Amino acid sequence: MACIEARGLRKAFGANVALDGVNLRVEEGRILGIMGPNGAGKTTALNAILGLTPYQGELRVLGRDPWTERDRLMRDVCFISDVAVLPRWIRVAQLLEYVAGVHPRFDRAKADGFLTKTTIHRASKVRELSKGMVAQLHLAVVMAIDARLLVLDEPTLGLDILYRKQFYDSLLNDYYDRSRTIVITTHQVEEIQNVLTDVMFMDRGRIVFGCSMEDFESRYVEVMVKPEQVAAARALKPFHERQALGRSVLLFDLKPDSADRRQLSGLGEVRTPSIADLFVAVVGNSTAKSAANPADAPKGVVR
Amino acid sequence: MNTESNAVPESSLDARENAPTIERATRPFYWSVRRELWENRAIYIAPLAAAGVYLFAFLIGMTRLPDKMRQLSALDPMEQQHAIIMPYEFAAGLMMATTLIVAGFYCLDALHSERRDRSILFWKSLPVSDGITVLSKASIPLVIQPLLTVAITVVTQFIMLLLSSAVLAGHGMSVATYWAQVSLLQMSLGLFYHLFTVHVLMHAPFYAWFLLISGWARGVAILVWAFVPPLAIIIVEMLVFNTSHFANMLRSQLSGGAEAIPFPGRMPIEPGMEFTPGHFLLSPRLWIGLAVGAAFLFAAARFRRNREPI
């Protein structure tokens, strides 16, 4: 059974279409990163998955309809939707007590264990904690819940680099065990590139790109072309071209053992692009052309 | 789905997973009510503070008690009892007024503040349904506050009785005559009856309406939506039909049915008829009011599901 399965997911706020027919399948045990410009529909998609917003189309999360079964679903699903959504008046000890009271899968000892590694006091109110500490606290609570799906919407927004690094480190080391599924949206793509198993780009309510990180590394090639070779390189049909340090950087989508790929190494410096570069190429392209090239948007399906 | 294949070792978590359905429903409710008390400490601090201030004032007035008792002995027994009981009834009235004010503000804010500070996104990440949340908030004015009011009032009145006795005994006056006039048990039963019938059963639709508005409107609009629609109905009815049925209905619902419900301590009498519990429980107005209140709460739970944070 897929962890998340969506078909033709649509959602409009008045005339503004937030989700425009999203098809998505996330298998259990994957770590999916969703990237997209502001207003691309990422948060709306996550809200639909979490039962926070009504939608049209078909959606199943762990076999349940999130909109009608949110409270039941939340025994198996956790989410951090933003930093600083913890109620500001609550004390740390009260928070732990409350979650232990209402959540059948919360392990109080585990949460206490995570918190002893921080400088957070049990008697403090959330309003007295720094932004980074609130994120640590929320993560400690969430990681102590034995959930099957964890959804993180911009979990590290506004945190400094040390907290961000620590956040993803403890997520990977102390939480992820290959049977759990994690879905993350963020603007800080580079920081989670090595955390992900799958990546997906959204733009204007649609999934414009999606593939596994293995596919990503084997298929996409970035070539810094020598000036005299630009014409030859362009003949191999790059799907994006940009200028960097006075040289042309061309992006290709090629099979690992194709003849074109061997030819490329003669044209310049070949390397795997960063997710950010691919994101600019794909989303920038689709914004420019408005209709994305099907080759750029492989299936809109994440395996 | 095949949860069986996930071979999770037996643990206390599983024991709680398989807990009886009743416990599954009551545990989140119990913790949600505690959560409300953590967040809204005015629920118990306000009546406690009012009781403290009142006891202080009572203590100061105590210096005149022996003189007062001497004057009272000249009056007939009915007037005597009335004068002695007055401060006790006033204490109960003060507690009730304090509670009413706190309850009103609480309900108007209960489903609004969690949207305002976006903490609703956290509460919704836990396996607690919108219905349980709304019910736990409704239980504050309908269960917790009445019980608190009775408890604090009884303790306050008991302290008043002890203080008076001490002063009278110090002046060599008869404590027994004083005690004979003040029946704490009768007063607290009366208070309990009054709170349960009027403040709980009759006022339930008002609290439910406030909760509904707090889950639906935002900012100052809450005050507008809470009070303008009823006012509009009253004014339109007056202008168009030249009647005031709606206003009368609201007024009698608020006062509990009998315009002249006396203070707790004596049984309430409706003009022209006995105000008996049986008669009260059979009145259609009570059940219509409760049904309307239930509909408001149901709508409030729906709104909580639909509304996004502000």
Residue of B nearest to A49 (CA): B125
A72 interface with B at CB cutoff 8 Å: yes
Would residue B272 be called left, alpha or beta, if left means φ above 0 and alpha means ψ between -120 and 50 degrees? Answer: left
Mutate to test the interface with A, among B4, B8, B114, B122 (most CBs of A within 10 A): B122
Q: Is the pLDDT of residue A289 over 80?
A: no
Q: Domain ranges for chain B, please list them.
A: 3-306
Domains of chain A: 4-210 (3.40.50.300), 214-287 (3.30.70)
Residue of A nearest to B7 (CA): A179
pLDDT (0 to 100) of residue A129 = 92
- Give the rounded distance of the alpha carbon of B46 from its chain centre: 13
pLDDT (0 to 100) of residue B18 = 56
Sign of the Cα pseudo-torsion (A113, A118, A124, A125, in order): negative
pLDDT (0 to 100) of residue B157 = 92
> Rounded distance, CA A179 to CA B34, Å?
35
Q: What is the mean pLDDT of residues A160-179?
A: 83
Q: What is the mean pLDDT of residues A203-215?
A: 87
pLDDT winner (highest mean) among A32-46, B74-88, B268-282: A32-46
- Which residues partner with A77 through β-bridges? A149
Query: What are the tens digits of pLDDT across the range A102-158?
Result: 998 999 999 999 899 889 999 999 999 988 888 889 988 998 998 899 998 888 877
Query: What are the tens digits of pLDDT across the range B191-230?
Result: 888 888 888 888 899 999 999 999 888 878 888 888 888 8
Chain A residues in contact with B6 (beta carbon < 8 A): 179
Closest alpha carbon to B210 in B108, B99, B101: B108
Contact flag B13-A74 (C-beta cutoff 8 Å) = no
Contact flag B31-A105 (C-beta cutoff 8 Å) = no
Chain A residues in contact with B129 (beta carbon < 8 A): 70-71
Number of other CB atoms surrounding residue B166 within 10 Å: 12
Chain B residues in contact with A48 (beta carbon < 8 A): none
Chain A residues in contact with B34 (beta carbon < 8 A): 98, 101
Contact flag A74-B125 (C-beta cutoff 8 Å) = yes
Q: Which of B27, B117, B123 sits opposite A88 (nearest CB)?
A: B117
At B67, is the pLDDT very low, low, confident or very high (cuts 50, 70, 90)? confident
pLDDT (0 to 100) of residue B213 = 92
Contact flag B118-A85 (C-beta cutoff 8 Å) = yes
Question: Which of A49-63, A174-188, A278-292, B94-108 comes out lowest in average pLDDT?
Answer: A278-292
At B264, is the pLDDT very low, low, confident or very high (cuts 50, 70, 90)? very low
pLDDT above 70 coverage of chain B, percent: 84
Contact flag B121-A104 (C-beta cutoff 8 Å) = no
Chain A residues in contact with B121 (beta carbon < 8 A): 52, 81-82, 85
**DSSP assignment, residue A272?**
P
At A179, is the pLDDT very low, low, confident or very high (cuts 50, 70, 90)? confident
Q: Is the pLDDT of residue B129 over 50?
A: yes
Contact flag A98-B35 (C-beta cutoff 8 Å) = yes
Distances from the Cα of A75 to the Cαs of A129, A150, B124, in angstroms? 27, 11, 11
Q: Is the pLDDT of residue B10 over 70?
A: no
> pTM for the complete prediction?
0.83
pLDDT (0 to 100) of residue A106 = 92
pLDDT (0 to 100) of residue B141 = 94
- Give the rounded distance of the alpha carbon of A110 from its chain centre: 26
Q: What is the mean pLDDT of residues B286-310?
A: 88
Contact flag B13-A105 (C-beta cutoff 8 Å) = yes
B305 interface with A at CB cutoff 8 Å: yes
At B103, is the pLDDT very low, low, confident or very high (cuts 50, 70, 90)? very high
Query: What ipTM does this complex have?
Result: 0.83
Contact flag B125-A53 (C-beta cutoff 8 Å) = no
pLDDT (0 to 100) of residue A265 = 76
| A vs B: CB pairs below 8 A | 90
Chain A residues in contact with B123 (beta carbon < 8 A): 87
> Rounded distance, CA A132 to CA A167, Å?
9
B19 interface with A at CB cutoff 8 Å: yes
> Rounded distance, CA B56 to CA B62, Å?
10
